[in-house]
Amino acid sequence: MSSIELKPTIEADEWRTAQSQFDEAAELIKLEPWLRDVLREVQREFTCHFPVKLDNGHTRIFTGYRVQHNINRGPAKGGIRYHPDVSLNEVKALAMWMTWKCAVVNIPFGGAKGGIIVNPRELSLNELEHMTRRFATEISILIGSDRDIPAPDVNTDGQTMAWIMDTLSMHLGYSAPATVTGKPLEVGGSAGRVEATGRGVTICAVAALEHLGRAPHQTKVVVQGFGNVGSISAKLLEEAGCTIVAVSEDYGGIYNPLGLSIKRVLEYRAREKTLKGFPGAKEVGNQDLLTLDCDLLVPAAIGNQLTSRNARDVKAKLIVEGANGPTTPEADAIFRERGIFLVPDILANAGGVTVSYFEWVQDLQSFFWSEHEVNQKLKAILSRAFNEVLKTREERKLDMRMAAYVQAVSRVAGATRERGLYP
């Protein structure tokens, strides 16, 4: 009885999800026991508790994390998130997923992730800057252009990255733009970086529709999460010919079975700071949104949204994961059994890290590409990765997630095997 009561909590543990996905892939490729032990655990986990002086003169202690999972294929790479629910286990899982993500698209990075336990909406811009710069100082012993390169994630953006880059540059005594990616263009950012993750989701979704023999103009889409990834995915999928019937934010969303104009939704949200009250649409809760009648579901909010509790009620025949870890292993098993085609996060949302790689390369050589060049290179890399994963899926009779894992884990294991163990 107790195991049933505990199940939702256990099912929602990202680190357990990440490790169980790895275990399944390791079994499929018959990975040597020593490599399983090495790759199943993170290499470094750093926790800091640091003081920040608030505008009212009081001091508040914040807790932050930076985790590096594996750096055998290159410097560590991964975002920094600001969220009240950030935990060490979550950051460890995200770091591991970053390793596989970089490997599946075959770019020379390892995986890392960072986060601070904070609700950024409760801080002023001044307090956010002070907290960011202090955290950058705490993790400066780990990060750098040839060691570990942060990027934006949940509740962080180009401004956050500019503060981190400036802080590290002040320590060094010279400007070091390649120390972070996702920066504003004015300080060494890359054209196309802001849209990159959403564009990658769209590239994978269109490729999956083509594989399934479905035309975009026959496809109804639900997007959970209307932040950077979700809003850009919705906009680009609409441009590709799809009909977006529902979108949502953290408190819920809007639904119109005949379709929403994403341009009008974006204009309304910019004006009203909310989706509530959008004309011609009815309000819908975030959980109800996942089970609406549609052909394509894009979970682009946060982790653990698709679980054993709702997986049987999902109507979509195609799921493309815009968020990291939105599907638990239990839900995955149900989707497999139901024949739902799922493009996993480590492939579908790898557009962001791919263009981060482009940005890093551009910064290191001080030579920048046009947005058209960036988008072309992104499409070439993601289309190749999608086709490689699809080929592995068909050859090995796997689902897309395990096919992507087989590709990624094989590449990281190969690099680790070649390098050997030190000393």
- What's the CA gap between 343 and 340, in Å, rounded? 10
Cα angle vertex 26, ends 23, 32, to 5°?
Answer: 120
Q: How much helix, strand and coil, in percent to the nearest 5, is found in the chain?
A: 50, 20, 30
CA distance 293 to 196: 28
Q: List, in sequence order, every beta strand (DSSP E) within 161-291.
A: 220-224, 243-249, 252-255, 282-284
Q: Which residue out of 113, 183, 220, 235 is catalytically annotated? A: 113
End-to-end CA distance of the chain: 48
Residues comprising the chain, all counted: 423
- Determine the Cα–Cα distance for residues 111 and 122; give it in Å rounded to an integer: 30
377 tagged catalytic = no
Closest CA relative to residue 284, chosen from 243, 246, 232, 334: 246
**What backbone torsions phi and psi does residue 108 show, to the nearest 5 degrees?**
-80, 60
3-state DSSP assignment of residue 306: strand
Say which residues have a Cβ less than 8 Å from residue 306's Cβ, sequence separation at least 6.
290, 299, 314, 319, 326, 327, 328, 331, 335
How far from chain centre, in Å, is Cα 365?
Answer: 27
Buried b (16+ CB within 10 A) or exposed e, 168-185: beeeeeeebbbbbbbbee
Q: Which pair of tokens denotes residue 146? A: 């040839």
Backbone φ and ψ of 287, nearest 5°: -75, -40
Helix or strand run (H / E) with residue 52: strand 44-53
Longest dimension (CA), the chain: 66
410 neighbors 106 (Cβ within 8 angstroms): no
Give the integer Cα–Cα distance in Å for 98 and 324: 9
CB 409 within 8 A of CB 101: no
Cis peptide before 423 (omega within 30 of 0): yes
Q: Which residues are catalytic?
A: 113
